[in-house]
Chains A and B, each alone.
Chain A
Amino acid sequence: NAGVTQTPKFRILKIGQSMTLQCAQDMNHNYMYWYRQDPGMGLKLIYYSVGAGITDKGEVPNGYNVSRSTTEDFPLRLELAAPSQTSVYFCASKVGAEPGANVLTFGAGSRLTVL
């Protein structure tokens, strides 16, 4: 049971480059999320999805895009990397909206540095 898998774990980008952070879950969870963690700032929500084909913006969506073509995968794309996007990115998922099912499962994180 892999849970939530994020790749890559580490990546260094140059300013202006593009890349995709991959997130996959094998728990048949409907809800998926992307958070970023900056030092001393806690985690901030970038985008979320409540099911395949449905995505919406979170608190800090600028500079990112997402897609959800399958229940399992929720990739996060950076189109034109900027130093402000240097952060640790966490993908998370949960079963659905039921109140008893609201504990998120987090991936191990992806550390991105933009130079």
Chain B
Amino acid sequence: AQKVTQAQTEISVVEKEDVTLDCVYETRDTTYYLFWYKQPPSGELVFLIRRNSFDEQNEISGRYSWNFQKSTSSFNFTITASQVVDSAVYFCALLNAGGTSYGKLTFGQGTILTVHP
């Protein structure tokens, strides 16, 4: 069975601080995908990134960066120079690529990020 753990329930920072959201996953599959979603106060789920298990290259997109380490089963998300608009709930999720997974995502519990002005 697969599992995703986001150990930080809530994080509070002041604008312009850097913040890292942790994600640790468990899976027996060798081929899988990891995701981050953002849920702003309006409630919709916004896709941020997808990573497959064979690509450990870190990725940067503007102020967002992701660090994927298979050795520690972690897929951490860093926001540099945080802004108030980054305030949201962030979810890490796992998808096994096997034929019987049918695209079912396993979500972590979510991390509530609050960025204060």
| A contacts, CB < 8 Å to B | 31, 33, 35, 40-45, 48, 50, 56, 58, 88, 90, 94, 97, 99, 102-104, 106, 108-109, 111
Contact = CB atoms under 8 A, between A and B. Distances in A.
Contacts of A97: 99, 102-103
Contacts of B31: 99
Contacts of A108: 43-44
B110 A90 contact: no
Contacts of A43: 91, 105, 107
A90 to B, nearest CB: 7
Contacts of B63: none
Nearest to A111: B43
The prevalent SS among residues of A at the interface is: strand
B50 interface: yes
Classify the interface of chain B: helix, strand, loop or mixed. Answer: loop
A33 B102 CA distance: 10
Contacts, number: 59
A80 to B, nearest CB: 26
Interface residues of B, number: 24
A56 B33 CA distance: 22
B105 A45 contact: yes
A50 B99 CA distance: 12
Contacts of B91: 42-43
A94 B4 CA distance: 21
Given A42-B109, A109-B44, A33 B9 contact: no
A106 to B, nearest CB: 4
B43 A88 contact: yes
A40 B9 contact: yes
A42 B6 CA distance: 10
Contact of B103 (A35, A40, A104): A104
